[in-house]
Amino acid sequence: MDRTQKAALLSAGIGGAVTALKFYAAWLTGSLALYSDALESIINVVAAVGAFVALRVAARPADEDHPYGHHKAEFFSAVIEGALIVVAALLILREAYFGLLAPRPLDAPAVGLAVNVGASIVNAVWAVALMRWGRRWRSPALIADARHVFADVVTSGGVLVGVGAVVLTGYPVLDPVVAGLVALNILWSGFRMVRESVDGLMDRAAPAEMVSEIRALISRHGEGALEAHDVRTRSAGQATFIDFHLVVPGAMTVEDSHAICDRLESALETTIPGAVVTIHVEPGEEAKARGLPVL
């Protein structure tokens, strides 16, 4: 089990503990907002389990049926998590609607708020850790899970404001109103996550700064070649696929051109985490006016 899988599994465990605390707070107070917050956390646990399964699949080596590996399994996980966030938001909106029809006063709000605050602090710290690891290890599944946990923290913040307002003003109708507003924010978060994940499934190019770095590395380490053109990239989970055409002098031997390719592959794979490089060698007459010169 690698580090990303361990992080996803730990996320499910922490999510379960946080969910239990939130349901306890909702039971103490009878607050619709706290209950809605707990519902959202259930989806968080399910999403963490989904991320763990996706990471297990993505870690499988390439095989005859999947010669490019299983990296895109992480994007499927992120799409599912985004869809689950949308479901959670719709559930909260439903509860908020019925709460508006029949608002009710809260029981033991101080204790319930204290429990919810504790759970939210745990969630916030874990979300920061997950996001850092997801970006460092370039794992879409962990990043999606971190965003989901962040959405849970936002939910809890809105809930705390709503329950606090109910206590201070004595207007129980504020409880479902705030729950509904927070649900709309969660709905937007889920939509954005699905959109970005689908973008990954559609073979979107690597980030612009990474593409610039790749082009600079090709130019710097391509000594002996004439130019490089048609540089293309795509990201799939923790892998970044890079392919380009390398133009060499027509009289150069296969052995010498292969040595240049080895040098370029080594430089790219060392600098770009998860780089999978494919180079097509062409003779000098294939050079293009707008090709990338090599130093």
Q: How far apart are CA 279 and CA 243, in angstroms?
A: 6
Mean pLDDT of 43-53: 75
CB 89 within 8 A of CB 111: no
**Please, what is the average pLDDT of the chain?**
83
Rounded to the nearest 10 degrees, the angle between the axes of helix 3-29 and helix 32-58 is: 170
pLDDT for 294 beyond 90: no
CB 36 within 8 A of CB 179: yes
DSSP annotation of 139: -
| Whether the model pTM is above 0.85 | no
CB 149 within 8 A of CB 92: no
pLDDT for 261 beyond 70: yes
Between 59 and 269, the higher pLDDT residue: 269
pLDDT tens digit sequence for 208-254: 899 999 999 999 999 999 999 889 998 776 688 999 999 999 889 99
Mean pLDDT of 71-88: 75
CB 133 within 8 A of CB 144: no
Mean pLDDT of 131-142: 81
Q: How far apart are CA 278 and CA 295, in angstroms?
A: 20
Token look-up 């399964």 returns: 53
What DSSP line would sit under 248-259, residue for residue? --TT--HHHHHH
Name the band, by pLDDT with cuts 50, 70 and 90, for residue 267: very high
pLDDT at residue number 21: 92
Token pair for 83: 């869809």
